């Protein structure tokens, strides 16, 4: 039976937002009234469980209550109503530089921050080298942290937090401050935490990042829980709520975009350019033919495809811009094809998504989810599991001492 790392029951939190604030007793007397304030309901009757060993994402728009809930879990804020039960040692990284003294060196702040998070001096001594190495600020470790960049603050603070070996790690949006290499290192650490049965609760606006790391999620809106469950479903529903022009087309498929150009269809063809009507096989050559039309002339469009497993795992994506295939313009109806020389997928069901964007890929004209589906049969593939076929072979190198033999 799955245990819960955090149990949140009917939690509410209200803040006072001051519209007119008296700066002194004199100003209050002169104005003949108290400061004017209105109540802001940051959280309203929030109830959810965070399973032990999960990477749990909190998503929502700015002001939705994500960070407030995280601070309530971290005991930084006290809920007005409701209860929060936590099971295990907890560490939190919620703000850049939290728990640091700007005049102290990085080394001294490791001891300061570590003690705040519950580590003793002997424990910090034993982990000091590892903390510094993970943070990547070795050259500046004896400099005052007031001279650190925000990225250096984050790396050092996060390194201290994870070395407390918490059962529950709370992480706010601050990871966005780190560079790509640091974010990759953090993702690997989160995966290690999950393998060890630890729990990570993370707030982020980066949906792709959360898709890659989270297995459970909760979507908050206006301080209320909109949806809780498997990360794929929750993140997709939240992402749809932020997109313009999300709709269900005549075929019942979800699509969004501004509509100047539309994906009419995505057809899967075999190597003879015949429409595939049944299962395809591992190793087959396939052609993906996208039919589209543009109601107006569009300069330098970008066409893109993405592949997902049926469980929502993102497997691959490609677009014309990244592959250096330049398209000057489109107007009216047209076709474009993508050739897959060898399908290196294991047996299973897979979905293709298709889209048309502008030259920067920041503006979506049309995105068609589940534009096409394929069923892959791998009768002659003997690789054990997973999504991809690598085509490798086992062997025993010659000249190696030992009793190992095989054929």
> Do residues 280 and 307 lie in contact, with contact meaning Cβ atoms separated by under 8 Å?
no
Biggest CA-to-CA distance, the chain: 96
Helices (H), 171-230: 180-195, 207-213
Smallest Cα–Cα separation from 335: which of 390, 294, 384? 294
Spatial separation of the C-alpha atoms in residues 239 and 237, rounded to whole Å: 5
Burial 103-114 (b: 16+ CB within 10 A, else e): ebbbbbbbbbbb
CATH dotted code for 4-242: 3.40.50.300
Q: Copy the structure tokens of residue 256.
A: 């969004």
What does the pLDDT look like over 92-121, one tens digit per residue?
A: 877 766 678 889 999 999 999 888 888 899
Q: Where in the chain is CATH 2.70.50.60?
A: 247-377
pLDDT value at residue 322: 93
Q: Where in the chain is CATH 3.40.50.300?
A: 4-242
**What backbone torsions phi and psi does residue 267 show, to the nearest 5 degrees?**
-110, 135
The CA distances from residue 160 to 189, 215, 330, in Å, are 13, 25, 53
CATH 2.70.50.60 at 247-377, yes or no: yes
Tally Cβ neighbours within 10 Å of residue 310.
11
Q: Write down the pTM of the prediction.
A: 0.71
What does the pLDDT look like over 255-298, one tens digit per residue?
A: 999 999 999 999 999 999 999 989 999 999 999 999 999 999 99
What does the pLDDT look like over 16-59, one tens digit per residue?
A: 876 665 555 556 555 555 656 678 899 999 999 999 999 999 99
pLDDT value at residue 318: 95
> Do residues 105 and 145 lie in contact, with contact meaning Cβ atoms separated by under 8 Å?
yes
Spatial separation of the C-alpha atoms in residues 18 and 33, rounded to whole Å: 13
């Amino acid at each position: 039976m799955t245990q819960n790392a955090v149990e949140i029951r009917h939690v509410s939190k209200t803040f006072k937002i001051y519209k007119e604030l008296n700066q002194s007793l004199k100003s209050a007397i002169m104005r003949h009234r108290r400061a004017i304030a209105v109540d802001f309901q940051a959280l309203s009757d929030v109830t959810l469980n965070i399973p032990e060993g999960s990477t749990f994402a909190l998503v929502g728009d700015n002001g939705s209550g994500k960070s407030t809930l995280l601070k309530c879990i971290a005991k930084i804020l006290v809920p007005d109503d409701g209860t929060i039960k936590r099971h295990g040692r907890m560490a939190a990284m919620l703000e850049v530089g939290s728990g640091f003294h700007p005049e102290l060196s990085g080394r001294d702040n490791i001891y300061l921050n570590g003690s705040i998070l519950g580590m003793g001096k002997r424990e910090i001594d034993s982990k000091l080298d590892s903390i510094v190495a993970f943070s990547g600020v070795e050259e500046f470790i004896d400099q005052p942290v007031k001279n650190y960049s925000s990225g250096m603050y984050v790396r050092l603070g996060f390194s201290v937090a994870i070395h407390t070996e918490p059962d529950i790690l709370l992480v706010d949006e601050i990871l966005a401050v780190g560079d790509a290499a640091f974010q990759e290192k953090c993702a690997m650490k989160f995966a290690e935490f999950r393998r060890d049965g630890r729990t990570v609760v993370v707030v982020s606006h980066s949906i792709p990042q959360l898709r890659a790391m989270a297995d459970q999620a909760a979507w908050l809106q206006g301080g209320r829980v909109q949806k809780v469950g498997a990360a794929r479903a929750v993140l997709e529903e939240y992402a749809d709520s932020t997109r313009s022009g999300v709709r269900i087309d005549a075929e019942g498929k979800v699509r969004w975009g501004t509509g100047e150009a539309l994906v009419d269809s995505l057809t899967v063809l075999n190597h003879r350019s015949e429409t595939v009507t049944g299962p395809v096989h591992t190793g087959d050559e396939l052609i993906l033919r996208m039919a589209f039309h543009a109601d107006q002339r569009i300069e330098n469009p970008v066409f893109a495809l993405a592949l997902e497993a049926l469980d929502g795992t993102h497997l691959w994506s490609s677009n014309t811009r990244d592959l250096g295939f330049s398209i000057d313009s489109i107007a009216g109806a047209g076709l474009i094809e993508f050739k897959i020389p060898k399908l290196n997928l294991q047996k299973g069901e897979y979905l293709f998504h298709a889209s048309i964007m502008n030259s920067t890929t920041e503006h979506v004209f049309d995105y068609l989810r589940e534009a096409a589906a394929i069923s892959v049969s791998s009768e002659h593939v003997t690789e054990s599991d997973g999504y991809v076929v690598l085509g490798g072979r086992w062997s025993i190198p010659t000249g190696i001492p030992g009793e190992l033999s095989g054929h």
